[in-house]
Chains A and B, each alone.
Chain A
Amino acid sequence: MSGVRLEGITKVFGSTVVLTKTDLDIKDGEFLVLVGPSGCGKSTTLRIVAGLETPTEGSVFIGNRNVTKLEPSDRDIAMVFQDYALYPHMKVFDNMAFGLKLRKVSKKEITERVNEAAEMLGLTNLLDRYPKQLSGGQRQRVALGRAVVRHPQVFLMDEPLSNLDAKLRVQTRAELIKLHQKLKSTVIYVTHDQTEAMTMGTRIVVMKDGLVQQVDTPKFIYDHPANMFVAGFIGSPPMNFIKGSLETANGKVLFKSQGISLELPTTSAEAPKQQDVVLGIRPENVEVIDQNKFEESKFLTCHVEVSEYVGSESIVHTKTPDGQKLVVKVNANGKIAEPGETIKLRPLDGFLHLFDPQSGSNLLSMKV
């Protein structure tokens, strides 16, 4: 087992620059998730690690070996494809054994390894079937099994769950985490689904337009997003962004906009020096309060537009007094907000963020 390192990877297709000077350092045994919107270059990054694409510039290291010029077969990696890519003319056993046969592993060992992987993935009864005789979930596991039997240094997975239905996806997600805990090998996992990234990754790489935006643990990225893009991409429903300006009065820092004056949990020393900012609030980090209990500067007053009841909670779409959108997720045990109603929202738990309106970069994350 070993880690993977990308150094200054740039990839150009014709005239489109898909990756720009990408550096990544993936530790041995890590479950690293590449996440970002479609077309941001996740698959390309993965395929460069696999050796299916050649980088225009830069180097790829697996362990201590520079593998930039090596064939995929010489890199000691295994890949799980989005469409599974099972060989339709081979039975499940042969699908899993193909890579071992080509590597001249002994018959006895092939049988052992395939049976072991089949047991681990619950495929033992299916070894005699052709891929077309399997359900989507079973095919997905065969694709995993084909990678597992190879005992590779690095597993590469490109949206392996995206062809499963929602329920099976959640189930398989948990199984993949278990599998990783058992095998302890390095995994690079591509997805466009931030929930998958949050639940599975030991670290997450958020990408946009071929540029790495942030690399960190799910918790840290959630609490300290590097910029507005990351803040909006990670978390569901996405973070609210409210435009306004900062004012300091008697040592207190206030976020101001028309009809809004919210005291921020920071000091004038810590607060950014610029005036125009964007305030970031996650929908889940507010509570609905009674006006009487708190001072005016502790909450936002908003008008309810739509209220979606989803069982354990309600998603309430509101507008601030100056007409900016604010979506909040509130516990449904309380009173359900009605459209047209005015509610008071107080930041609670978690973090408030200040972003630069031009660059979008994070100026300050404040623990509430």
Chain B
Amino acid sequence: MSVKHEVNSAPEAESSAKVANNVKDIMKQLILALYAALILGPFMLVVMTSLKTTQELYQNPLGLPSTFHFENYAKILMEGKMPFYFKNSFIVTIISVTLIIFFASLASYAITRLDGWKSKLMYGLFTIGMMIPTQVNMIPLYLLVVKLGLNNSILGLIIIYIAFAMPFATFIMVGFMRGIPKSLIEASKIDGANEWQIYSRVVLPLSLPSVATVAIFNFVWVWNDLLFPLLFVRTDSVKTLPLAMLRFQGEYMFDFPMIFVGVVLASIPMIVTYVLLQRWFIQGLTAGSVKG
């Protein structure tokens, strides 16, 4: 009797565990769906608005546009200086982010490879930067930039972005590189790699998840940043998108659909970057490097 009971109870326990699992799954999906709606809702509203006429927006602010006015996009891309600002933003963002990754990864490599006080001092100096709010630096920074003749120039913006990004980028990458087993570096030394080769062919490829993190984080920041262009840029030819959008608001006074077109266009590169890089986020590259 007791044997029979045991035989029966196993599938029962299993099925009740299954139900519990399903409930958990559904809850998880529900929360994720809610979160997605929270993010996507406003964004869809922006996209819809950008495809309406001003009149339609006032009549039916939340609904779908009766016809999709893609000419809004054509108008901005053809008539305005939008493509030009786009180009400026691209140059500033791409170069800044690339160099941030390059310098931060080199610095992190040095910090993780050196030992003793040299490493600690370097790491300390970098991370102290994270504790100082940008606003505190604004006036000295302004004076410095002007003295160096770097104000109102793309190069100036790039240098400032790199400098301000280094602490956090280094912090993230040092954290990641410290997790790379020491024996991998020793193995490459024995295999005949010099420091540059250890960095470029072993440590950097293994740090791709942290590179992706730093890239996404800084891409979004630099692309969206209004503060530094506002401080340092005066001429049109140096303006980046956020600063241009500010003026745009004046130009298309209350022409909200046009402003929203600008917003949508300005968001696309960030979305693309995120989608392209997120797989590195997720991929745990170090899995399987050591042990069984």
Please report which residues of chain A, range 72-94, place their CB below 8 angstroms from some CB of chain B when the two chains form the complex.
72-73, 77-79, 81-89
Closest chain-B Cβ to A63's Cβ sits at a distance in Å of 17
In the complex, per-residue mask of B166-203: 1 if CB is within 8 Å of any chain A CB, else 0: 00000000000000010110111111111001000110
Contact B193 A73, beta carbon cutoff 8 Å? yes
- Complex: chain B residue closest to A97, CB-CB: B191
- Complex: chain B residue closest to A132, CB-CB: B288
Contact A81 B183, beta carbon cutoff 8 Å? yes
Comparing A133-141, A282-290, A306-314, A316-324, the segment that makes contact with chain B is: A133-141
Contact B288 A102, beta carbon cutoff 8 Å? no
Closest chain-B Cβ to A215's Cβ sits at a distance in Å of 25
Chain B residues near A78: list those with CB within 8 A.
190
Chain B residues near A79: list those with CB within 8 A.
186-187, 190
Q: Is A130 an interface residue (CB 8 A)?
A: yes
Chain B residues near A176: list those with CB within 8 A.
none
- Complex: chain A residue closest to B292, CB-CB: A136
- Complex: chain B residue closest to A80, CB-CB: B187
Contact A83 B190, beta carbon cutoff 8 Å? no
Closest chain-A Cβ to B211's Cβ sits at a distance in Å of 13
Contact B191 A83, beta carbon cutoff 8 Å? no
Contact B292 A98, beta carbon cutoff 8 Å? no
> Could you tell me the distance between the alpha carbons of A71 and B288 in the complex, rounded to whole angstroms?
28
> Could you tell me the distance between the alpha carbons of A35 and B239 in the complex, rounded to whole angstroms?
69
Contact A77 B190, beta carbon cutoff 8 Å? yes
Chain A residues near B188: list those with CB within 8 A.
87, 98
In the complex, per-residue mask of A103-142: 1 if CB is within 8 Å of any chain B CB, else 0: 1000000000000000000000000001111111101000
Given the interface contacts A83-B181, A87-B184, does A130 sit within 8 Å of B191 by beta carbon?
Answer: no
Instruction: From B187, B193, B292, give the contact of A85 (CB < 8 A).
Output: B187
Chain A residues near B206: list those with CB within 8 A.
88-89
Q: Is A56 an interface residue (CB 8 A)?
A: no
Instruction: From B183, B191, B194, B289, give the contact of A131 (CB < 8 A).
Output: B289
Q: Is B287 an interface residue (CB 8 A)?
A: yes
Contact B186 A52, beta carbon cutoff 8 Å? yes
Please report which residues of chain A, range 330-365, place their CB below 8 angstroms from some CB of chain B when the two chains form the complex.
none
> Could you tell me the distance between the alpha carbons of A5 and B200 in the complex, rounded to whole angstroms?
35
Instruction: From A89, A102, A132, give the contact of B191 (CB < 8 A).
Output: A102
Contact B192 A88, beta carbon cutoff 8 Å? no
> Could you tell me the distance between the alpha carbons of A78 and B188 in the complex, rounded to whole angstroms?
11
Q: Is A99 an interface residue (CB 8 A)?
A: yes
Q: Is A163 an interface residue (CB 8 A)?
A: yes
Chain B residues near A85: list those with CB within 8 A.
181, 183-184, 186-187, 289-290
> Could you tell me the distance between the alpha carbons of A350 and B43 in the complex, rounded to whole angstroms?
86
Closest chain-B Cβ to A78's Cβ sits at a distance in Å of 7
Contact B183 A83, beta carbon cutoff 8 Å? yes
Contact B183 A88, beta carbon cutoff 8 Å? no
- Complex: chain A residue closest to B289, CB-CB: A88
By CB atoms of chain A within 10 A, which of B189, B190, B292 has the most?
Answer: B190
Q: Is A50 an interface residue (CB 8 A)?
A: yes
Q: Is B285 an interface residue (CB 8 A)?
A: yes
Chain B residues near A164: list those with CB within 8 A.
292
Chain A residues near B291: list those with CB within 8 A.
83-84, 136, 163
Chain A residues near B285: list those with CB within 8 A.
88-89
Contact B183 A133, beta carbon cutoff 8 Å? no
> Could you tell me the distance between the alpha carbons of A73 and B197 in the complex, rounded to whole angstroms?
13
Instruction: From A52, A103, A150, give the contact of B189 (CB < 8 A).
Output: A52
Contact-residue bracket for chain B = 20 to 34
Chain B residues near A132: list those with CB within 8 A.
287-289
By CB atoms of chain A within 10 A, which of B191, B197, B290, B292 has the most?
Answer: B191
Q: Is B29 an interface residue (CB 8 A)?
A: no
Q: Is B286 an interface residue (CB 8 A)?
A: yes
Q: Is B63 an interface residue (CB 8 A)?
A: no
Instruction: From B181, B186, B197, give the contact of A102 (CB < 8 A).
Output: B197
Chain A residues near B202: list those with CB within 8 A.
87
Contact A73 B289, beta carbon cutoff 8 Å? no
Chain B residues near A134: list those with CB within 8 A.
288
Chain B residues near A150: list those with CB within 8 A.
191
Chain B residues near A163: list those with CB within 8 A.
291-292
Q: Is B83 an interface residue (CB 8 A)?
A: no
Chain A residues near B287: list those with CB within 8 A.
88, 132
Chain B residues near A131: list those with CB within 8 A.
288-289
Contact B183 A102, beta carbon cutoff 8 Å? no
Closest chain-B Cβ to A133's Cβ sits at a distance in Å of 7
Closest chain-B Cβ to A272's Cβ sits at a distance in Å of 48
Contact A73 B288, beta carbon cutoff 8 Å? no
> Could you tell me the distance between the alpha carbons of A81 and B190 in the complex, rounded to whole angstroms?
11
> Could you tell me the distance between the alpha carbons of A134 and B201 in the complex, rounded to whole angstroms?
22
Chain B residues near A71: list those with CB within 8 A.
189
Q: Is B61 an interface residue (CB 8 A)?
A: no
> Could you tell me the distance between the alpha carbons of A87 and B193 in the complex, rounded to whole angstroms?
13
Q: Is B205 an interface residue (CB 8 A)?
A: yes
- Complex: chain B residue closest to A134, CB-CB: B288
Closest chain-A Cβ to B232's Cβ sits at a distance in Å of 40
Please report which residues of chain B, range 249-292, place their CB below 8 angstroms from some CB of chain A when the two chains form the complex.
285-292
Q: Which 10 A-B pairs have the closest CB atoms?
A: A132-B288, A136-B292, A99-B191, A88-B289, A85-B183, A83-B290, A73-B192, A85-B187, A102-B192, A81-B183
Other than the given A77-B190, A102-B193, A136-B292, 18 more pairs (CB < 8 A) read: A50-B190, A52-B189, A71-B189, A73-B190, A73-B193, A81-B183, A85-B184, A85-B186, A85-B187, A88-B286, A88-B288, A89-B285, A98-B191, A98-B201, A99-B190, A99-B192, A132-B287, A132-B288
Q: Which residues of B contact A (CB under 8 A)?
A: 181, 183-184, 186-194, 197, 201-202, 205-206, 285-292
Can you list 11 A-B contacts (CB < 8 A)? A72-B189, A73-B190, A79-B186, A81-B186, A88-B286, A98-B191, A99-B190, A136-B291, A150-B191, A163-B291, A164-B292
